[in-house]
């Protein structure tokens, strides 16, 4: 199998200045002193993509994913290293790339097609397919600057995918658009794969990475730290997210032992998770949620759970005075903020007693992951009834997310685990 993309020892270095005047002095050669420090957006990155492969690139923000794609597509120039491309590339990087905002959608189709190397006659022959795929109606004849982000990406993707590229490169573009458009795009991915085309794409959607990729590359702080089959690399990525990739196995005893409490002065569970920096928190201060986490079926603290696996959400509460029968709660919402499911110690008929000052209660909610693949927002609550009135001691809304990784989804919010059989017979006139 021939190589479609070859990247050898790629480096991309940016000069970072503490002061703008230092940048000017350096550019004009007014000093021999180095006034900047170097930042490696990419450092000695090498990879090879075979023709017909679908390869995903994952990593935290700032790991160099988009920089790598921009160098491969020629948008950026590397500081050193080489890139070799064997085939015609179509790239969908960021909204606006290659589009003239003053042109109509139709004019931009011809503009992008011409830039890719197509003649007007060739674009004419593909125009109907592009417009059908984009499905933006009469907006195709309006200036692109009037488009919503959803319409913009529909047209951009329709152009990129219908000009018959040999290599398709996509950077997070599919996170925009409704589920029907995303489904159409992934169906096109499947058509491309069957036709022997090459796909390279960056995504934070680990479910898509798991489902569609033959191989995955993991970047961290500009370096390629691993590549391989999706499940193994996604597991490594989970460790990167919680800064545990290089941790000695003996240091993981706490996370592997679900029943061991985190004592005073030790690292909190939540410190090993990715949290929402703008979550909402409030309460009357009589008790506090002081720690929490999600634990997968291997005992690892993580934001990622494999569909079908057992996992737990653990919540630790500290009481500042006597409270009778406090209720500890957890809820799941989708990206639109719709509450999907949830429970609490009262629903589960768990007796929380009457904790007093400095008492700690730790609730562990364990269940199988039966939600469809996707990302869900988690909210935590510590409430109860005080003098007959419903009282909020502490609530934390959308404090973290859980990413459910799935290679098989059904419809709706849940997979009900149906067993499906089909029987075949022939019509005889007596059926």
Last residue of a domain, one of 183, 207, 241: 241
**Residue whose structure tokens are 């830039």:** 115
CATH code, 50: 3.40.50.300
Residues 37 and 74 in one domain: yes
Q: What pLDDT, on a 0 to 100 scale, did the predictor assign at position 96?
A: 56
C-alpha to C-alpha distance for 70 and 76, rounded to whole angstroms: 5
Q: Residue 85: its pLDDT value, please?
A: 93
Residue 47 lies in a domain: yes
CA dist 396 and 131 (Å) reads: 45
Q: Which string of DSSP letters, residue by residue, matches 110-138?
A: HHHHHHHT--HHHHHHHHHHHHHHH--GG
Classify residue 143 as exposed, middle or buried by CB count within 10 Å of its CB (0-12, 13-18, 19+).
Answer: middle
Bridge partners of 147, per DSSP, are none
Same domain, 130 and 87: yes
90 and 42, same structural domain? yes
Q: Give, in degrees to the nearest 5, the angle at Cα 415 between 414 and 420.
A: 150
Encode burial over 398-419: b for 16+ CB neighbours within 10 A, e otherwise: bbbbbbbbbeeeeeeeebeeee
DSSP SS3 for 22: helix
Within a domain: residue 60?
A: yes
| Cα 177 to Cα 180: distance, rounded to the nearest angstrom | 8
Last residue of a domain, one of 206, 241, 276: 241
In a domain, 430, yes or no: no
Question: Model-level pTM?
Answer: 0.65
Are 229 and 301 in the same domain? no
177 in the same domain as 86: yes
The two beta strands, 3-17 and 80-85, are antiparallel
Same domain, 37 and 161: yes
Q: Is residue 420 part of a domain?
A: no
Same-domain check for residues 209 and 286 = no
pLDDT values of the chain reduced to their tens digit, one per residue, 431 residues:
799 999 999 999 988 887 887 787 777 777 777 777 788 999 999 999 999 999 999 998 889 998 999 999 888 999 999 999 998 888 777 655 678 889 999 999 998 888 777 888 989 999 999 999 888 899 999 999 998 877 888 888 888 888 778 898 888 755 556 667 777 777 887 888 888 899 998 988 787 788 788 999 999 999 999 999 888 888 788 778 756 676 444 443 333 333 334 444 568 999 999 999 888 888 899 999 999 999 999 999 999 999 999 999 999 999 999 999 999 999 998 877 778 999 999 999 999 999 999 999 999 999 999 999 999 999 999 999 998 888 999 999 899 999 999 988 888 888 888 888 799 888 887 75
* DSSP state letters, 30-55: --SS--EEEEEEEEEEEEEEETT-EE
CATH number at residue 305: 2.70.50.60
Site of tokens 């993309």: 5
Do 16 and 95 share a domain, yes or no? yes
d(CA 232, CA 279): 31
Closest residue by Cα to residue 333 from 397, 277, 409, 381: 397
In the block, tokens 């032992």 appear at: 257
Q: Is residue 431 part of a domain?
A: no
In a domain, 358, yes or no: yes
Is the same domain home to 233 and 300? Answer: no
Query: Pairing relation of β-strands 3-17 and 36-50?
Result: antiparallel
Statement to judge: residues 213 and 339 lie in one domain: no
Burial class (CB in 10 A: 0-12, 13-18, 19+), 376: buried
Instruction: Go through the chain and tell me how many residues it has.
Output: 431
Specify the number of domains making up the chain.
2
User: Domain containing 371: what range?
Assistant: 266-405
Is the Cβ–Cβ distance between 305 and 353 less than 8 Å? Answer: no
Cross-strand bridge partners of residue 362? 316
231 with 368, same domain: the answer is no
Kindly state whether residue 427 falls inside one of the protein's structural domains: no
Evaluate whether residue 190 is within a structural domain: yes
Please identify which residue in the block is written with the tokens 């997210």: 241
- Residues 224 and 312 grouped into a single domain: no
């Amino acid at each position: 199998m021939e190589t479609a993309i070859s990247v050898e020892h790629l480096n991309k270095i940016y000069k970072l200045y503490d002061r703008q005047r230092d940048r000017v002095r350096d550019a004009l050669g007014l000093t021999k002193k180095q006034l900047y420090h170097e930042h490696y957006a990419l450092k000695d990155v090498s990879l090879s993509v075979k023709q017909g492969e679908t390869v995903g690139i994952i990593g935290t923000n700032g790991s160099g994913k988009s920089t790598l794609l921009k160098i491969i597509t020629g948008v950026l120039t590397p500081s050193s290293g080489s890139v070799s491309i064997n085939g015609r590339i179509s790239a969908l990087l960021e909204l606006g790339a290659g589009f003239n905002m003053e042109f109509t959608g139709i004019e931009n189709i011809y503009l992008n097609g011409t830039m890719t190397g197509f003649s007007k006659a060739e674009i004419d022959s593909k125009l109907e397919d592009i417009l059908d795929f984009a499905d933006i109606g009469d907006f195709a004849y309006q200036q692109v600057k009037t488009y919503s982000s959803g319409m913009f990406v529909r047209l951009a993707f329709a152009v990129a995918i219908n000009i018959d590229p040999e290599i398709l490169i996509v950077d997070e573009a599919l996170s925009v658009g409704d589920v029907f458009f995303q489904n159409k795009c992934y169906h096109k991915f499947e058509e491309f794969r069957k036709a022997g085309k090459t796909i390279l794409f960056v995504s934070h959607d680990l479910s898509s990475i798991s489902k569609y990729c033959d191989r995955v590359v993991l970047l961290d702080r500009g370096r390629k730290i691993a590549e391989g089959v999706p499940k193994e690399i996604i597991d490594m990525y989970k460790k990167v997210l919680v800064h545990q990739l290089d941790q000695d196995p003996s240091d993981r005893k706490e996370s592997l032992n679900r029943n061991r409490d985190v004592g005073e002065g030790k690292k909190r569970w939540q410190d090993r998770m990715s949290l929402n920096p703008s979550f909402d928190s409030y309460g009357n201060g009589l008790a506090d949620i002081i720690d929490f986490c999600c634990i997968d079926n291997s005992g690892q603290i993580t934001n990622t759970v494999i569909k079908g696996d057992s996992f737990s959400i653990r919540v630790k509460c500290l009481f500042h005075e006597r409270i009778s029968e406090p209720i500890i709660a957890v809820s799941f919402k989708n990206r639109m903020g719709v509450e999907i499911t949830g429970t609490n110690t009262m629903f589960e008929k768990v007796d929380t007693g009457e904790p007093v000052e400095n008492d700690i209660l730790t609730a562990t909610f364990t269940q199988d992951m039966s939600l469809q693949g996707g990302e869900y927002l988690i909210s935590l609550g510590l409430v109860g009834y005080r003098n007959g009135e419903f009282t909020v001691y502490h609530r934390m809304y959308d404090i973290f997310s859980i990413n459910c990784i799935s290679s098989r989804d059904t419809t709706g919010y849940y997979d009900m685990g149906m067993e499906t059989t089909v029987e075949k017979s022939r019509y005889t006139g007596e059926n």
